[in-house]
Amino acid sequence: MINITLPDGSVREYDKGITSMQIALSISEGLARNVLAAEVNGEVWDASRPIEQDSTVKLLTWNDAKGKSTYWHSSAHLMAEALEALYPGTKFGIGPAIETGFYYDVDFGDIQFSSDDFKKIEDKMIELAKTKSDYIRKPVSKVDAIEYFTEKGDEYKLDLIKDLADGAITLYSQGNFTDLCRGPHIPNTGHIKAVKLMSMGGAYWRGDESRKQLTRIYGVTFPKASELADYVHLIEEAKKRDHRKLGKELELFAFSEKVGMGLPLWLPKGAALRERLTRFMQNAQVKAGYEQVITPHIGHKNLYITSGHYEKYGADSFQPIKTPQEGEEFLLKPMNCPHHCEIYKTKPRSYKDLPVRFAEFGTVYRYEQSGELHGLTRVRGFTQDDAHLFCRPDQVKDEFKKVIDLVLYTFGALGFDNYTAQISLRDPDNKAKYIGSDETWALAEAAIIEAAEEKGLPTVVEYGEAAFYGPKLDFMVKDALGRKWQLGTIQVDYNLPERFELEYTGSDNQKHRPVMIHRAPFGSLERFVAVLIEHCAGNFPLWLSPEQFTILPISEKYEDYAKKLSDELKNSDICGLIDFRDEKIGRKIRDAEVKKIPYMLIVGEKEAAEGLVSVRRHGVGDLGSMSIEDFKQQIIKEITV
Ligand SMILES: [Zn+2]
Ligand SMILES: [Zn+2]
């Protein structure tokens, strides 16, 4: 008999050679129907693989990330089976699962293939899935594996086998298809109920441009047709909300090849939006005891040698700028922390002075490969809402709580109400790889956990995910489409205070090292605005909206009245423009709707004569006519909510 420990800590006895599927069956038939694979001693296995010794077992279903990934990888095998049936002689490269779905790199030889053929393949996959063929694992010798794929004539698999050790090679078969694969897979193809091939493209074999280009086909599968329908809807909605598309339509930002890739240009409306976010954060920070500082965009190379950035990232960064006379080297600032450490050192600090909190909207530059650049989410120059807190070890918990308050206040004002906090701690089995004493780490880790608990945050704890220089807390936000974004990081740092020899005088009159905390609720303004655009589909909260109203005169006769209204609203800090174009009112309304301007104020003869405005709210419709005073009050009420 062997002992099997389950995730709830319970231990059950089974015969040696029991499979995870049999364990599931012994618990409930319903569970067994949903088991896709199992994690055995931390490794994902086929549910049909015999377990020979005492083990911890976690059964994996569609609800587990590892279960999904096994499912999607198995779907790649199913697609290969369909391709082989429809296009005999097709050769196969690799077919992994990806974040959502899977791909397979294939060589069609002389066959012409296009996305018009997707439907045929999808149908074949469903037909094959219905046979409920088991995925059968077969360990083989290297010689036998080579013989099999030589006979089949698949040079890509032979190329892969070359690098494998004899004794560690397995083949998997389902239906009429056999693949070289280390597994694991789901029990049978019957779990796959809905299929969609998403796109295709070229991919060099083994990522090597000198080798053959294969066809990469992306697909996604689901255990229910309704889940596929939801997914397709999500993709369409995401396309509509793409910040690159809306950024252009709403005239927020642009890119210019002449200026340089990955360097966003903020247009007037985007700059207005960004200004408001900045002011919002500055006001909140002043209330929370932060002091604003300003540092230059470049720093001497020695600064980054001291901080360790040069050694770690220097080769992959923008290269140093040299002064023409002295040949001194400067780097574009990749982060603000080293500058802030030098600000800390400008005067002696006592334990009574701490904490000090330096905040800066610091623009930093990081080299990203051109292929990695993406709208505002991956850029080469961006502005962080950065701050560094320098405190005593006994102040870490309080500082964390205050930063959590600030982050939650920000999320609340911007409509992000679905979040979890991920706490990243040391790997308890490998403490040597972290800098700082065991004692300070234990203190900081406990402080973060307690702070999160006292603030009632929903948390997940990840061991081994801390940086080598300190534990951290990250906020993971779900947007309106259920997509996850990491926003807001609070990071403890024992490394920089050491490297910059930061000190304070303690109550014992001795010198001590302060603890440094990095934090940025938005992260970068660029990325935050991108997430915000996609979250609210460009319908910003009124207080943030760069153009809160547009006045639409029915004809030029009412322009003077429109100007008078506009001035009056501007005097109350409500901003907007007048549409002076010689267009029909219907056209003006439609254009304002496209620009997602919150309020449209229509003025004609009646309004001008009686001192009224006819109000339309974007996404709502006609609100009727009201006095300008009532309209002002309505806006002020909405902004302050
Ligand atoms: Zn496989
Ligand atoms: Zn920092």
Rg (CA), the chain: 30
Determine the distance separating the centroid of ligand 1 and the alpha carbon of 147, expressed in angstroms. Answer: 19
Rounded to an integer, what is the distance from CA 446 to the centroid of its chain?
A: 27
Cβ(495)–Cβ(514) below 8 Å: no
Per-residue model confidence (pLDDT) at position 428: 87
pLDDT bracket for residue 1 (50, 70, 90):
very high
Annotated catalytic residues are 337, 366, 384, 386, 388, 472, 518
- Ranges of CATH 3.40.50.800 domains, the chain: 547-639
Pairwise CA distance, residues 14 & 272, whole Å: 67
Pairwise CA distance, residues 505 & 522, whole Å: 33
Per-residue model confidence (pLDDT) at position 433: 84
501 Cβ contact list (under 8 Å, min separation 6): none
Average pLDDT, integer, range 405-432: 92
Please give the backbone phi and psi of residue 543, each rounded to the nearest 5 degrees, phi first: -65, -20
Angle value at C-alpha 441, between 437 and 445, nearest 5 degrees = 175
Cα separation values, 182 from 67, 157, 173, 179, Å: 16, 13, 12, 10
Cβ(183)–Cβ(171) below 8 Å: no
Known binding-site residue numbers = 337, 388, 518
Determine the distance separating the centroid of ligand 1 and the alpha carbon of 74, expressed in angstroms. Answer: 6
Average pLDDT, the chain: 94
For 23-60, write each residue's pLDDT tens digit.
999 999 999 999 999 999 999 999 999 999 999 999 99
302 Cβ contact list (under 8 Å, min separation 6): none
What is the number of the ligand closest to the CA of 359? 2
What is the number of the ligand closest to the CA of 170? 1
User: Three-state SS across 11-78?
Assistant: EEEECCCEEHHHHHHHHCHHHHHHCCEEEECCEEECCCCEECCCEEEEEECCCCHHHHHHHHHHHHHH
Known binding-site residue numbers for Zn(2+) = 337, 388, 518
Tokens of residue 368, six digits: 């990203």
Tokens of residue 131, six digits: 């046979």
Cβ(339)–Cβ(332) below 8 Å: no
Per-residue model confidence (pLDDT) at position 312: 85
Is the domain spanning 2-61 CATH 1.10.510.10? The answer is no
| pTM for this predicted structure | 0.79
Determine the distance separating the centroid of ligand 2 and the alpha carbon of 335, expressed in angstroms. Answer: 6
Per-residue model confidence (pLDDT) at position 70: 98
- Ranges of CATH 3.30.930.10 domains, the chain: 253-536
Per-residue model confidence (pLDDT) at position 180: 97
Cβ(19)–Cβ(187) below 8 Å: no
Residue-by-residue DSSP string for 345-397: TTS--BTTT--EEEEEEEEEE----GGG-BTTTB-SEEEEEEEEEEE-GGGHH
Please state which architecture CATH assigns to domain 253-536. 2-Layer Sandwich (3.30)
Tokens of residue 264, six digits: 């966003």
For 609-639, write each residue's pLDDT tens digit.
999 999 999 988 999 999 999 999 988 888 8
Determine the distance separating the centroid of ligand 1 and the alpha carbon of 138, expressed in angstroms. Answer: 12
Determine the distance separating the centroid of ligand 1 and the alpha carbon of 179, expressed in angstroms. Answer: 7
What is the number of the ligand closest to the CA of 182? 1
Determine the distance separating the centroid of ligand 2 and the alpha carbon of 362, expressed in angstroms. Answer: 10
| CATH of the structural domain 66-239, one choice from 3.30.980.10, 3.90.1150.10, 3.90.1150.110, 3.60.20.10 | 3.30.980.10
Residue-by-residue DSSP string for 208-236: -TTSPEEEEEEEEEESSHHHHHHHHHHHH
What is the number of the ligand closest to the CA of 387? 2
Reference 186, options 396, 5, 13, 45; nearest CA is 45
- Ranges of CATH 3.10.20.30 domains, the chain: 2-61
Tokens of residue 514, six digits: 């302060």
Reference 83, options 112, 119, 125, 114; nearest CA is 125
Q: Does residue 355 have a cis peptide bond before it, meaning omega lies within 30 degrees of 0?
A: yes
Pairwise CA distance, residues 385 & 404, whole Å: 15
The β-bridge partners of 218 are 103, 199
DSSP, collapsed to helix, strand or coil, labels residue 597 as coil
Burial class (CB in 10 A: 0-12, 13-18, 19+), 559: middle
Determine the distance separating the centroid of ligand 1 and the alpha carbon of 133, expressed in angstroms. Answer: 14
Average pLDDT, integer, range 83-88: 96
| 28-53 CB burial, b ≥16 within 10 A, e <16 | eeeebebbbbbbbeeebbbbbbebee
489 Cβ contact list (under 8 Å, min separation 6): 472, 473, 474, 475, 518, 519, 520, 523
Per-residue model confidence (pLDDT) at position 202: 94
Determine the distance separating the centroid of ligand 1 and the alpha carbon of 263, expressed in angstroms. Answer: 41
Average pLDDT, integer, range 266-272: 95
Per-residue model confidence (pLDDT) at position 313: 86
Determine the distance separating the centroid of ligand 1 and the alpha carbon of 162, expressed in angstroms. Answer: 18
Q: Going by DSSP bridges, is the β-strand pair 55-60/37-40 parallel, antiparallel, or unpaired?
A: antiparallel
pLDDT bracket for residue 567 (50, 70, 90):
very high
Pairwise CA distance, residues 86 & 113, whole Å: 11
Sign of the dihedral through C-alpha 47, 49, 50, 55? negative
- Ranges of CATH 3.30.980.10 domains, the chain: 66-239
Q: Does residue 184 have a cis peptide bond before it, meaning omega lies within 30 degrees of 0?
A: yes
Pairwise CA distance, residues 557 & 608, whole Å: 10
Pairwise CA distance, residues 631 & 641, whole Å: 16
Residue 28: HSE in the Cβ half-sphere, 13 Å Cα cutoff: 3
Cβ(320)–Cβ(367) below 8 Å: no
Q: What is the share, in percent, of the chain residues with pLDDT greater than 70? A: 100
The β-bridge partners of 253 are 266
Determine the distance separating the centroid of ligand 1 and the alpha carbon of 188, expressed in angstroms. Answer: 12
Pairwise CA distance, residues 21 & 57, whole Å: 11
Average pLDDT, integer, range 352-373: 95
pLDDT bracket for residue 482 (50, 70, 90):
confident
Pairwise CA distance, residues 46 & 36, whole Å: 8
| 216-245 CB burial, b ≥16 within 10 A, e <16 | bbbbbbbbeeeebeebeeeeeeeeebebee
Please state which architecture CATH assigns to domain 547-639. 3-Layer(aba) Sandwich (3.40)
Angle value at C-alpha 388, between 385 and 393, nearest 5 degrees = 145
Determine the distance separating the centroid of ligand 2 and the alpha carbon of 387, expressed in angstroms. Answer: 7
For 309-320, write each residue's pLDDT tens digit.
998 888 888 999
Determine the distance separating the centroid of ligand 2 and the alpha carbon of 38, expressed in angstroms. Answer: 40
What is the number of the ligand closest to the CA of 37? 1
Reference 274, options 632, 540, 549; nearest CA is 540
pLDDT bracket for residue 641 (50, 70, 90):
low
pLDDT at 324 over 80: yes
Cα separation values, 97 from 38, 183, 359, Å: 17, 11, 42
Per-residue model confidence (pLDDT) at position 316: 85
pLDDT at 531 over 70: yes
Rounded to 10 deg, the angle between the 559-571 and 628-640 helix axes is: 40
Average pLDDT, integer, range 6-35: 95
Average pLDDT, integer, range 185-203: 96
Determine the distance separating the centroid of ligand 2 and the alpha carbon of 257, expressed in angstroms. Answer: 30
Please give the backbone phi and psi of residue 511, each rounded to the nearest 5 degrees, phi first: -85, 140
Per-residue model confidence (pLDDT) at position 533: 96
Sheet containing strand 177-180, edge to edge, reads 136-140, 169-174, 177-180
- In 250-317, which residue ranges form alpha helices assigned H by DSSP? 268-287, 301-307, 309-313
What is the number of the ligand closest to the CA of 295? 2
